Amino acid sequence: MTYRQSFAWWSFTTDAENPALLDSAAEIGYQGVDFLPQDHWNRARDVGLELTIIDGHISLEVGFNDRANHTDLADEVRRNLELAVKAGVPGLAVNAGNRGAASDADAVGICAEGLAPLAAEAAAAGVTLLLEPLNSKVDHVGNQCDHTAWAASVVDAVASPGLRLLFDAYHMQLMEGDLLRTMETHLDRIAHVHTAGVPGRHDLDDRQEVNWRSIAHLLHDRGYGGYVAHEFIPRADPVAALRTAYAIFDEPMSAQL
């Protein structure tokens, strides 16, 4: 088993809607698309792209680290879980939210308390909730889930196949680095991976600091079977950027042929 490749719709269509991008991605070899608006779902299916992940709840700032949010968030996640089941979407993104009164240690338990029943429901429906650590330096100042170990503690506390990590290498390079060792340590908890160049969140090229080929080979060699989804904002032509990113992560598979 090895990974498949996807891309995040929002980051490649920042200036205008471009449904033809779905056709181009499929021609390159992509198998999925993240966070695709519903009005493009039929076109994605028509060209053979899986709807890989949608939002379980909209706000990144209001999350499961506060019990006061649990009821409203659970209602929102359940609505989107029903939508995911109907549409065949395997992943729902969930978030801890910005820091509040709870310490980091206490917030782990609070998140687990809110997510556990939802994870059980998701697992029973064949869907996985995906908790994403975000960087609190640049893009999500104040977010409590800003290190891999913290997010992994929530996953372990819930102890359900219905909750796994969405490991965004861009965010975690900014916060902690040590990507290869961190990913290998937590690979059994990771169900989805995001990429973007650091710094700047742009192309996977020689103008940023991450060795993406080494990450591709690690995931391939360790038998990672989820999606690698590119979530960066291309500097120029989005199709060319998608083609370059795809080639980097296709390299380990091509080397086997």
* CA-to-CA dists, residue 257 to 4, 72, 253, 254, angstroms: 17, 50, 7, 5
Residue 87 parent element (H or E): helix 70-87
pTM of the entire structure? Answer: 0.96
Residue ranges and CATH numbers for the domains of the chain are: 4-256 (3.20.20.150)
The angle, 0 to 180 degrees and rounded to 10, between the axes of the packed helices 212-221 and 238-256 is 40
Structure token digits, residue 77: 């996640």
Q: pLDDT digit of tens for each residue in the chain (257 aa)?
A: 689 999 999 999 965 578 899 999 999 999 999 999 999 999 999 999 999 999 999 999 999 999 999 999 999 999 999 999 999 999 999 999 999 999 999 999 999 999 999 999 999 999 999 999 999 999 999 999 999 999 999 999 999 999 999 999 999 999 999 999 999 999 999 999 999 999 999 999 999 999 999 999 999 999 999 999 999 999 999 999 999 999 999 999 877 65
d(CA 89, CA 21): 20
Residue 206 phi/psi, 5° resolution?
-85, 15
Instruction: List the beta strands (DSSP E) in the chain.
Output: 4-8, 32-34, 50-55, 91-94, 128-131, 163-168, 190-195, 227-230
- Active-site positions? 132, 231
